[in-house]
Structure 1
């Protein structure tokens, strides 16, 4: 045995044998093991080493397969991370998400209507449901309308008359600002002065701004801010969640003496509940407004560049603004005692945008709300 052991191994074996711990001593390979080892060394010398997982060819294949697996796993991990990021940014995509459109407004499951591009030819059909705090537009055609500032869509700006495309674009931006601040901004709905809306109007137009400001500060039968602005007495009622939906369109054309003429025709729907804490009863107030604005040719009319003048404004309230002299809309609720309808008032469908606006005249009867 000693011919196969080094001097160090032999010394350690003798020491461990004397100590009785030689169980782990080196063992001489068997004759079969020595034969297999010799044959493999001969084949390796001749370049005939059998293909196996330790050979260069199979090692390369193994490494390529491992790299491919790593790439696949990395790609799958990237997809998972991307999906989690999307859900984090828009959790309403989760089935049954309680704070998404389906949780707060069941009617949002219906596809919203695209922007209005032409005058309707008839009133919209009936809508199922009844208004609640959780779904304040149920039972209303406004259930499919756009909400908030997104509901006010301007047409593409085009050069018109003496005005360039950029000048027309600024005029349309001013029109949108006026409509949003006068009819949708929460502060305006609670009675604050619509400074942004007033800011787009030309101070050189005689008496206009003076009259509008007086109607806001000291309203009366002859100075009614509801003809232009939507306001609800915060001591009496409030708009549910400050949510307002609107539908309409804005058109532009060349007016007289080179003026840019803009006409905005929109219907605004306000779900309203009582101001009392804990109130759950919901009604709706609806107003249709048609506003005709002008940007005069500064070479022909004394005007402030970039500002708008008001040529005409018409409004038609259903449930709230008709006949009010204190500057607030006062919508009626289903539980309120109702007086007999005035005999001289026409029945009005507040959602019918196919006809002309009544102009804020006699109070009619609304067929639905």
Structure 2
């Protein structure tokens, strides 16, 4: 038995014309003629009327996205772009983890806890073209970041341990001031001496200030000022504008009695161009990315042999992205995609410099130099 309703059998006619109906009636009146043509069902008439109103076009489908070949085409283009970036942005990255020498009876023991990173950034490629002199952050996740000192927001201060709210607030504010003076001061970024940043450090902390000053005076592989300060060689590169994009976070906790410990983890993005480049150098912009981790301690001078209002450095870590593998002269040396590298080639794993979730100490797992996936 057929499962198709009689009025919708495949061989039925969609409709009868006025001429056919007149001919049938005329032949019937004369007592003969052929069988009457089938009248379509109400459903068939509805379908026919709808098709006529739509100009015989088929009804739209339920898929509202692009056609399959269009989706695949965009995917292929995106993958090719990612591969090209992976080749062009093979630039050096170095990471250091420094624990300054400290008096065991003066500072709390070194903690293995990792500072919390800031909000995550998608690893998906950012579209919109590359950087220009007028838009140096175009094509970078940092384009939407806050800029400058205002991007370093302090958490609300509360008393912790036996340290008052005011003391906690002082520790937070001075940690921020140190970050600003060592990474955002225009004179320091142009290779100047970070005098203001040094002024926040306690001269009573053994070796800290002497080591920092020696690194600035006679930088070498063992004493490199970029481990603490972001500095570029003004004879080599210059900044594209004055804007530095910043993202990260700051937290605090009680230290030993009479101490508060502040942890900071911030990423700074610096657009740079070669010093001799003019307007024609727009296609030679390099974005150097520096991520810094700091653990600073403020101590109560009534209980500790410290200088009142000065910070002790418990730990500092740094990772530099899109720079030469070998730093010289106490400066960071940006890598430019269109220039063949002259130093040792990177050999480590590829990393996303905008990954803010991986603890800084684990970024390269001991690798001294690797590659970046984007800048």
Cα drift, residue 298 of structure 1: 3.2
Q: Would you tell me which structure has more helix in proportion to its own residues?
A: 1
Match of 2:25 in 1: none
> Structure 2: how far apart are the matches of 1:342 and 1:237?
21
Residue 341 of structure 1: CA displacement?
8.4
Say if 2:326 is the partner of 1:320. Answer: no
- Secondary structure of the residue that 1:242 maps to in structure 2? coil
Which one has a bigger Cα radius of gyration? 1
- Contact 2:346-2:369 at 8 Å conserved across structures: no
Say whether residues 1:363 and 2:369 are aligned partners.
yes
Contact 1:293/1:312 (<8 A) preserved: yes
Q: CA, structure 1 residues 317+158, in 2 after alignment: closer, same or farther (shift >3 Å)?
A: same
TM-score if structure 2 supplies the norm length?
A: 0.63
Aligned pairs for 1:19-30 within 5 A: none
Shift of 1:322: 4.1
* Count of equivalent residues: 253
- Listed as ranges, the matches of 1:69-148 within 5 Å are 119-120=118-119, 123-128=122-127, 129-148=129-148
1:214 matched residue in structure 2: 214
| Alpha-carbon displacement from aligned partner over 1:134-182 (angstroms, at most 9, x marks no partner) | 0000011000001111111111121122221112212111111100111
SS in 2 for 1:161: coil
What secondary structure does 1:241 align onto? Answer: coil
What displacement does 1:243 show? 1.8
CA contact (8 A) 2:149 2:184 kept: yes
For 1:175, what is the secondary structure of its paired residue?
A: helix
Supply the distance in 2 between the matched residues of 1:179 and 1:311 (Cα, whole angstroms): 15
Q: Distance in 1 between matches of 2:133 and 2:143?
A: 14
Is the Cα contact below 8 Å between 2:325 and 2:345 reproduced in 1? no
Contact kept in structure 2, 1:269 and 1:287, CA below 8 Å? yes
* Aligned partner of 1:303 among 306, 311, 315: 306
Q: Distance in 2 between matches of 1:321 and 1:309?
A: 31
The aligned residue for residue 240 of structure 1 is 240
Select the residue among 325, 328, 333 that pairs with 1:330.
333
1:347-369 deviation digits (Å, cap 9, x = unpaired): 11100011011388501111111
- Alignment equivalent of 2:351, drawn from 343, 348, 352: 348
Contact kept? 1:181, 1:194, Cα under 8 Å: yes
State the shift of 1:340 in Å. 10
1:228 aligns with: 228
Aligned-partner SS, 2:142: helix
Taking structure 1 as the reference length, what is the TM-score of the superposition? 0.64
Q: What is the rounded CA distance, in whole Å, between the counterparts of 2:343 and 2:328 in structure 1?
A: 20
Structure 1 322/153 Cα, relative in aligned 2: closer, same or farther at 3 Å? Answer: farther
Q: 1:287 aligns to what?
A: 290
Judged with a 3 Å threshold, the aligned counterparts in structure 2 of structure 1 residues 255 and 125 are, in CA distance, closer, same or farther, namely farther
In structure 2, the CA distance between the partners of 1:154 and 1:214, relative to structure 1 (3 Å rule), is: same
Change (3 A) 1:274 1:242: same
1: distance between equivalents of 2:165 and 2:344?
50
Distance (Å, rounded) in 2 between the aligned partners of 1:185 and 1:191: 10
Gaps of 5+ in 1: 1-116
CA distance in 2 between counterparts of 1:336 and 1:317 reads 19
Aligned residues of 1:321 and 1:328 also touching (Cα < 8 A): no
- Runs of 4+ in structure 1 off by over 2 angstroms are 117-126, 296-301, 338-344, 358-361
> 1:269 Cα shift?
0.3
Check the 8 A contact 1:226/1:321 in 2, yes or no.
no
1:103 counterpart residue number: none
RMSD: 2.2
Structure 2: distance between partners of 1:367 and 1:195: 35
Which of 1 and 2 has higher RCO (CA within 8 Å, sep 6+)? Answer: 2
